């Protein structure tokens, strides 16, 4: 009997590792798509003119927000291929909307901020994965902070206030550092609910988890860029 429990525990641990690896693989691919498209949009004059200098910039600025609120929550009603394509399209749109950072900041500071973000993200994600502390209580506080940051960021698009941007970025770093740990633990806990499910359901759950961590990473990067980015 003891041997049976041990084998089951080993099988469960292997399944959890495979599931979390899928989550981070999806996230890494999405970040790669976003980074490549952002670089092209910010570096190729024709693309810069089309997506940043023309009125189309407003469409691509708000398109990711529309997708995150109206399309991605329906991800479980899509086929697995549809869910994957939706995620890649979303990552691509994010890349277009982020292309302007290559016009504002030097490439060296963008690269260094990316590695700073990766280090902070990795540390907090590891904490969320390994800690025995229940981080559920963080959820409501962090979500209220996130909503406040979104509203303030939209308002500041039109105000262009430097002091307000400083406050947004400072609070944003705190919120997205916390969300990284919180979401990682939540994604890990979801595995308890889907263990034994078919591969398609597990893959959709992994995509949804990757979306959450991807957003944490991108937003943490944007907030840190305000502090560490060197303007041209």
What are the pLDDT digits (tens) for 92-136? 999 999 999 999 999 999 999 999 999 999 999 999 999 999 898
pLDDT of residue 91: 94
DSSP letters along 71-119, please? TGGGGGGS-HHHHHHHHHHHHHHHHHHHTTHHHHB-HHHHHHHHHHHHH
Predicted local distance difference test score (pLDDT) of residue 213: 96
Distance CA 196, CA 98 (A): 39
**pLDDT tier, 6 (very low <50, low <70, confident <90, very high otherwise):** low
* End-to-end Cα spacing for the chain: 67
pTM above 0.85, yes or no: yes
pLDDT at 85 over 80: yes
- Helices 162-194, 138-159: inter-axial angle, 10-degree rounding: 140
Closest-CA residue to 149 (of 59, 60, 215, 74): 215
Q: What is the mean pLDDT of the chain?
A: 87
* pLDDT exceeds cutoff 70 at 223: yes
Residue 11 pLDDT exceeds 70: no
* All structural domains of the chain with their residue ranges: 2-228
Residues 6+ apart with CB under 8 A from 76: 83, 204, 208
Phi, then psi, of 231 in degrees rounded to 5: -75, 145
Closest CA to 133 of 174, 180, 185, 209: 185
């Amino acid at each position: 009997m003891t041997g049976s429990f041990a084998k089951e525990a080993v099988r469960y641990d292997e399944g959890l590792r495979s599931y979390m690896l899928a989550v981070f693989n999806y996230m890494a691919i999405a970040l790669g798509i976003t980074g490549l498209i952002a670089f092209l949009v910010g570096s190729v004059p024709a693309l810069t003119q089309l997506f940043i200098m023309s009125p189309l910039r407003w469409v691509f600025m708000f398109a990711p927000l529309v997708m995150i609120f109206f399309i991605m929550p329906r991800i479980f009603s899509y086929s697995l291929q549809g869910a994957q394509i939706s995620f890649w399209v979303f990552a691509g749109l994010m890349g277009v909307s982020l292309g302007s950072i290559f016009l504002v900041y030097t490439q060296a500071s963008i690269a260094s901020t990316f590695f700073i973000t990766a280090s902070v993200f990795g540390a907090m994600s590891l904490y969320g994965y390994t800690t025995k502390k229940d981080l559920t209580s963080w959820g409501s506080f962090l979500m209220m902070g996130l909503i406040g940051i979104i509203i303030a960021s939209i308002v500041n698009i039109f105000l262009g206030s430097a002091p307000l941007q400083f406050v947004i970025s400072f609070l944003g770093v705190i919120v997205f550092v916390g969300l990284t740990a919180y979401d990682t633990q939540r994604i890990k806990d979801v595995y308890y609910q889907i263990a034994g499910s078919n591969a398609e359901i597990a893959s959709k759950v992994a995509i949804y988890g990757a979306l959450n961590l991807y957003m944490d990473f991108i937003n943490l990067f944007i907030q840190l860029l305000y502090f560490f980015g060197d303007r041209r």
